[in-house]
Amino acid sequence: MRKRFVPSFFLFAALLALAGGPIFSGPQDQSPAVCPTCGDEDPRLEACTVVMVGRLASTDGSVMTTHTCDCGSCDWTFRRIPAADHKAGDVRKIYHIGQFDAMSPALGLKWDRVGDNYTGLDLPQPAHTYGYIHGDFGYMNDKQVSIGESTLGNVPKIENTTAAPKFDITMLTLIAMERSATAREAIQVMGSLAEKYGYGFTDSGEMLAVADPKEVWLFEIMPVGPLWTPTSGKPGAVWCAQRIPDDHVAVCPNESRIGEIDLSNKDMFMASPNVVSLAVEQKLYNPAGGKPFCWKRAYSPNETSAVASGGSRVRMWRFYNLVAPSLNLGPETPNMDFPVSVKPDKKLSLKDVIAIVRDRCEGTIFDPARGLQGGPFGNPNFLPYGFTLDGKKYNTSRIISVNRAEYVTVTQARGGYPDPIGGIVWLAWGHQDTSCFMPLYNGMTEIPRGFEIGDHWEVDRDSTRWAFDYTDFHTQVIYSEAIKDVRAAQARWETSAIDRTPIIDQNALDLYKKDPAAAARYLNDYCMDNAAAITSAWWKLGDTLLVKFNKLWIYDAKARKRNPLIFPDWYLRMLVEQNGLKPVEPAKK
């Protein structure tokens, strides 16, 4: 097979010509008016994928949730909030916290300035509030109550962007973390507060996976329209929750998932008192029509499929294709017709769940690395959004492992252990494809300073996130080659940490039986040291990739030799055809 080297400037010129313009074009501002990802839709509706795994559907009995925070320009910083005891008369101030907000470090990051958006509402503090870890949302508290988030949107007539609602989804999750010992309690806390004080302002319809060591629930909440006020005497939110059976798994890819509900089955469903009446009042459901009430069809319908959407709504099908291929659910299946949850063909391990959140539809017609879109080096990130050409709109696949992730969490709530040991938040910074999941045990008493700082528009080498963006950036240049080095690093650091978990569990448990404080110190030191080591490793990995693929050659540091890149024949044939290249005439003898 004939191989040929193409100089670096020629590569980029050819890619630009073949693509009809700059490959990495598109505005940086991700506001609704200019988001290139979403076409006519609100960009918020395309951000965040959640996977839910019941305890009997996991290989180790843990209840798992995930959150792929796919904003692309949001504040990514994390905080650890300690538990606290409160006196009579103490209050909890409630703030409007926009999940998409991001501020310049020069002005003070989001969580440093949260008090600027005080709603005027004070809630009486309970005697005790739990400690928890949070990023854009609350993720796990001292009782292993865990959360993952996905934006749904809702029918326009129930939107409420006025300042009357005091709660948005971020604030609800923080209060749930502080006041809830179980998943059911968290849902009741959030639902009752939203009903009383209103939900909306910065947020539309939202979904939360709410879990504890025993069960996981799918909780969806919507505003009730712009005319609501606290003095209206009506609930300021409409919400519904459905429990995922213990031996089932489920997904929420920015689409409402709850269908028909049975409120007489209190073990499986919870809802606000207006769950049906609001739909009737807003003419979203006609009880005389002969059809049972369907939550998602009333409040947030999405009539499309993986095929019909050109891959922009492929995540629903892809999840079921991965976890239950025996069901033979095809990509033409309407997304509204997929079941809320299924029993997987095999139980899922933590590694399986991580593989799902890294999935790129490999081997399917929706694989973004296929053909010209992936370029000569099979890069799935070249064109992660739809485009318009000659007045016509085209979609590309919106995969689970989209490259604009702020971070990705996988929570494990595990029974049989004390809460400080049983709960783990696995955190990967930036794009999960090139990042590394790090364990944050519930027993941690602090969080690395590098987790608390940084933003998109200013490189900060003290910010942990930037280490992973640094490696990710250098991976994109020659993806098919560079990703091999990334996978090797993930095997060394991530896989080893997962495999080491039983040993850490046992060591911590032995200490806990003698001295819980000593166990907390042990877990804290382990997580802090591991995070520091991985951060350092990813800075070094980025340096390695920079040297190895510098100038779009391959530099062998050990041999101190430089070798050319080998481009695939299919690409070279397209290059010859597109640019009208002529073969070199043989030398005359």
**Which tens digit of pLDDT belongs to each residue from 457-474?**
999 999 999 999 999 999
Model confidence at 108, pLDDT cuts 50, 70, 90, reads confident
Residues 137/207, Cβ–Cβ less than 8 Å: no
pLDDT above 80 for 70: yes
Average pLDDT of the residues in 184-208: 97
Torsion-angle region of 560 (φ positive above 0: left; ψ -120 to 50: alpha; else: beta): left
pLDDT above 70 for 309: yes
Residues 242/217, Cβ–Cβ less than 8 Å: yes
Amino acid at 35: C
Rounded to whole angstroms, how far apart are CA atoms 300 and 567? 47
Rounded to whole angstroms, how far apart are CA atoms 398 and 71? 13
Buried b (16+ CB within 10 A) or exposed e, 284-296: bbeeeeeeebbbb
Rounded to whole angstroms, how far apart are CA atoms 380 and 376? 11
Element (H or E) spanning 68, and its range?
strand 63-69
Compare 188 and 588 and report the one with higher pLDDT: 188
**Which tens digit of pLDDT belongs to each residue from 500-536?**
999 999 999 999 999 999 999 999 999 999 999 999 9
DSSP letter for 145, please.
-
Return the pLDDT at 384: 84
**Which tens digit of pLDDT belongs to each residue from 198-211?**
999 999 999 999 99
Q: Is 196 helix (H, G, I), strand (E, B) or coil?
A: helix
Return the pLDDT at 107: 87
Spacing of C-alpha 220 from chain mean position? 17
**Which tens digit of pLDDT belongs to each residue from 561-584?**
999 999 999 999 999 999 999 999
Neighbours of 267 (CB within 10 A): 8
Element (H or E) spanning 188, and its range?
helix 183-197
Model confidence at 43, pLDDT cuts 50, 70, 90, reads very low
**Which tens digit of pLDDT belongs to each residue from 371-401?**
999 999 999 999 888 899 999 999 999 999 9
Burial (Cβ within 10 Å: 0-12, 13-18, ≥19) of residue 33:
exposed
Return the pLDDT at 365: 95
Buried b (16+ CB within 10 A) or exposed e, 477-495: bbbebbbebbeebbeebbe
DSSP states of 456-494: TTB--TT-HHHHHHHHHHHHHHTHHHHHHHHHHHHIIII
- Least Cα distance to 137 among 80, 90, 99, 185 occurs for 99
- Least Cα distance to 513 among 423, 412, 421 occurs for 421
Return the pLDDT at 45: 55
Read off the pTM: 0.91
CA 112-115-117 angle, to 5 degrees, is: 120
Burial (Cβ within 10 Å: 0-12, 13-18, ≥19) of residue 82:
exposed
Return the pLDDT at 472: 98
Average pLDDT of the residues in 412-437: 98
**Which tens digit of pLDDT belongs to each residue from 297-308?**
999 999 999 999
Amino acid at 550: N
Model confidence at 32, pLDDT cuts 50, 70, 90, reads very low
Neighbours of 110 (CB within 10 A): 21
Rounded to whole angstroms, how far apart are CA atoms 508 and 327? 42
Rounded to whole angstroms, how far apart are CA atoms 400 and 318? 9
**Which tens digit of pLDDT belongs to each residue from 332-379?**
999 999 999 999 999 999 999 999 999 999 999 999 999 999 999 999
Residues 428/135, Cβ–Cβ less than 8 Å: no
